[in-house]
Amino acid sequence: MSTKGRRASANPPFRFVRVVAIATTSAFLAVSLAGAGAKADPSASPTPNPHSSAQQSSVATYLETRATQVAASRARRVVSLTKSISLTKHAIARAHVNGVKVIKIAARYKGVPYRAGGTTPRGFDCSGFTQFVFNKIGISLPRVAQDQLKWTTPISAKNARPGDLVFYMSGNYAYHVSIYAGNGMIWHSPRTGEHVEKVNIGSHKVKYGKVPASVLVPGLQDHLSQLETALKFVTNAPKVKKTKVHKTN
């Protein structure tokens, strides 16, 4: 028998063994994959997360700590703003012109005659006199008594200081204005035929006013408004709630 014939007769058994081996391997792989699929099925066997409880506890602690920090920070801010507002209001209440200087200037013009519509040392009416005196210290008053009343900051007789203005009233109308000199005394230009003089206020119905703090300390009133707005924003801001984290088994 030739070599070619011997090779031909040997091939069939070899092919059979190879086919059997392949079939066996395929069956083994099929069984293995089926088992792996069964283990991966979450409905068949859920896999617990050993870190789940620890993670939830950590989140809960962080949220609680954060809420506490925010609340503490807000409380400190409220205290700080409240103190600043109080100090600013105090500064506004204490803001006054240099009364000694105002009274000195007023006294220089003692004896100047009253003149209707007068605004110079040749003759003053009441509001012309007050306007002239305050112009000397760089403060511009409105022209007539009623407008000067509206322009000033109202104060009580108890809080009146030298250099403030005193308004003689008829109802709500200021018909005369003068400069407070202290101890119930005023400097004024009274009426036709009289002169600038220092006299007692007497029993007249009067109101007191001072130069506004916004004129004496520019920007102070605006600063107060900003502080009050900031306080309102902080107190009305939504609070950070402590979030509860529900643990799962």
User: What are the backbone angles phi and psi of residue 210, rounded to the nearest 5°?
Assistant: -125, 160
Band (102; pLDDT cuts 50, 70, 90): very high
String of DSSP letters for 11-43: HHHHHHHHHHHHHHHHHHHHHHHHHHHHHH-TT
Q: By percentage, how much of the chain surpasses pLDDT 90?
A: 57
Whole-prediction pTM: 0.64
What pLDDT does 55 receive?
A: 76
Q: What is the mean pLDDT of residues 83-107?
A: 93
Which H or E run includes 78?
helix 52-94
pLDDT band per the 50, 70, 90 thresholds, residue 237: confident
What is the residue extent of each domain of the chain? Answer: 54-93+222-236, 98-212
The share of the chain scoring above pLDDT 70, in percent, equals 75
Does the pLDDT of residue 207 top 90, yes or no?
Answer: yes
133 has pLDDT over 90: yes
The predicted structure's pLDDT at residue 67: 86
More confident residue, 20 or 108: 108
Average pLDDT over residues 114-123: 98
| Whether pLDDT at 11 is above 60 | no
CATH topology of domain 98-212: endopeptidase fold (from Nostoc punctiforme) (3.90.1720)
Long-range (24+ apart) CB contacts under 8 A made by 216-219 are 216/95, 216/96, 216/97, 217/91, 217/92, 217/95
Q: Average per-residue pLDDT in the chain?
A: 83
Q: 15-48 pLDDT, tens per residue? A: 544 544 454 555 454 445 445 554 545 555 555 5
Residue 142 pLDDT: 98
| pLDDT value at 126 more than 80 | yes
pLDDT attached to residue 16: 46
**pLDDT tens for each residue of 167-178:** 999 999 999 999
Query: Would you say 161 and 99 are in contact if contact means Cβ atoms under 8 Å apart?
Result: yes
Q: Is 175 helix (H, G, I), strand (E, B) or coil?
A: strand
How far is Cα 132 from Cα 124, in angstroms, rounded to an integer? Answer: 9
Q: What is the pLDDT of residue 62?
A: 84
Instruction: Using pLDDT thresholds of 50, 70 and 90, give the confidence band for residue 58.
Output: confident
DSSP designation for 1: -
Q: Residue 69: pLDDT above 80?
A: yes
Instruction: Work out the pLDDT band at 8, boundaries 50, 70, 90.
Output: very low
DSSP class of residue 241 equals P
Is the model more confident about 177 or about 241? 177
